[in-house]
Amino acid sequence: MDLAIENGIAVFPEGIAEIPVAAFSSCKELTAVSIPDSVTKIGAGAFFNCPNLETVFIPGSVACLGGSLFEGCTRLAHITLSEGIEQITGNTFQRCRSLRRISIPDSVKIISGMVFSECDGLESIHVGNGNRYYCSYDGNLYTRDRTELVRFAPGGKSGSFSVPEGVKRIGEEAFACCRSLKEIVLPHGVTDIECSAFYEFSYLERVFLPSGLTKIGLCAFGQCESLADIRIPESVSVIESDAFNGCKSIRSLVIPDKVTRIRFGTFAYCEKLTQISIPDQVTLIENDAFCRCKNLFEIRIPGKVTAIGAHAFVMCENLVSAELPDSVTIIGAMAFGGMLYAFPRQPSPRPEDRSGAYLHGL
């Protein structure tokens, strides 16, 4: 297939139907792309990491955009999306740092993934009144009924942001990789924080969570290294894996009474965490739950806990007290590895279990 660049502009053969995977990937000469309307499919990463690409036109004949299509095109400032496009997924425009505004066609039905992640200059995501699935409000992207915040546009914003009343869900990766705010306030009525909603929100220091919140999703606050001020409401019953993994500034937390399991990696690498209250209803502490919480000095394991997963407290260097109740019958490999001190009681493995998942010594 003859693909070429003339004077910085991509040239396509007449009647071309598909642009191959990585066709122009990392091409420094490319400055403008106008895709012909004969094209119905664009391969993953076709224009990935083109550092001088500034202008893009995509016709409505291309129904789906995805697969890191323009990821890393740091000078891309002008994007025209035509009616007919139905899906924008994956990392399509991730790290397009020069993008200030974008208009979503009425035909778009699905926007998902880290589509606009690390678009630090993005000030406005515009959606026309004819779109049945999405709308824009103050430049941010919401579902049509405005019950879910889909994507926050960080450009030109600083300090604090209050999510509007009426929102019930903070969508997947809605604030992921945001660098412009220090404080987020969620309104009463928000019940779910979805997967990676605030992932790598590097300057976030404070979050106000409402009573009525029930779920904190997978990696929801993962790698929020500056987050220090957060209180989990008593209404929360589910905290999913890695929810606070890498929150290096949190010093203390109270886990709500409705939570019954501490999931994989939930509080791993919370390096300043010194105190945490585990509720009495917890029955399981999964693998890596408190891995490398190196300033955690005391932990009380509730009386209903039956199993502690592998590496659950590994490298908690200053943990001096970890009293185990009689209910604990399973302790995973290296669950308390790296502790400076032994704890009062080590349960014996059940003879019928041959998984090898027990810790027989420190």
Give the CATH number of the domain where residue 20 resides: 3.80.10.10
pLDDT at 337: 86
Q: Which residues contact 136 (CB under 8 A, 6 or more apart)?
A: 104, 124, 125, 126, 127, 142
Tokens at 116, concatenated: 């606009």
SS3 percent helix, strand, coil of the chain, rounded to 5, is: 0, 25, 75
The residue out of 250, 274, 308 marking a domain boundary is 250
User: Does residue 132 share a domain with residue 19?
Assistant: yes
For 348, counting Cβ atoms within 10 Å of its Cβ (0-12 exposed, 13-18 middle, 19+ buried), the class is exposed
Query: What is the b/e burial string over 126-162, where b = at least 16 CB atoms within 10 angstroms of the residue's CB?
Result: ebeeebebbbbeebbbbbeebebbbbbbbbebeeebe
Phi, psi of 147 (to 5 degrees): -95, -10
pLDDT at 321: 76
User: Does residue 75 share a domain with residue 217?
Assistant: no
pLDDT at 170: 98
pLDDT at 340: 53
Helix (H) or strand (E) holding 142: strand 140-143
pLDDT at 355: 36
Type of residue found at 53: L
User: Does residue 113 share a domain with residue 176?
Assistant: no
User: Does residue 80 share a domain with residue 25?
Assistant: yes
| Domain that includes residue 78, residue range | 1-156
User: Does residue 345 share a domain with residue 318?
Assistant: yes
The residue out of 96, 124, 156 marking a domain boundary is 156
pLDDT at 339: 64
pLDDT at 322: 80
> Number of structural domains, the chain?
3
User: Does residue 122 share a domain with residue 205?
Assistant: no
pLDDT at 210: 98
Which residues of the chain have a pLDDT value below 50? 342, 344-362
pLDDT at 118: 94
pLDDT digits (tens, 9 = 90+) for 3-33: 899 999 999 999 999 999 999 999 999 999 9
User: Does residue 71 share a domain with residue 57?
Assistant: yes
Distance of CA 177 to the CA centre of its chain: 8
User: Does residue 176 share a domain with residue 137?
Assistant: no
Give pTM, 2 decimals: 0.90
User: Does residue 24 share a domain with residue 131?
Assistant: yes
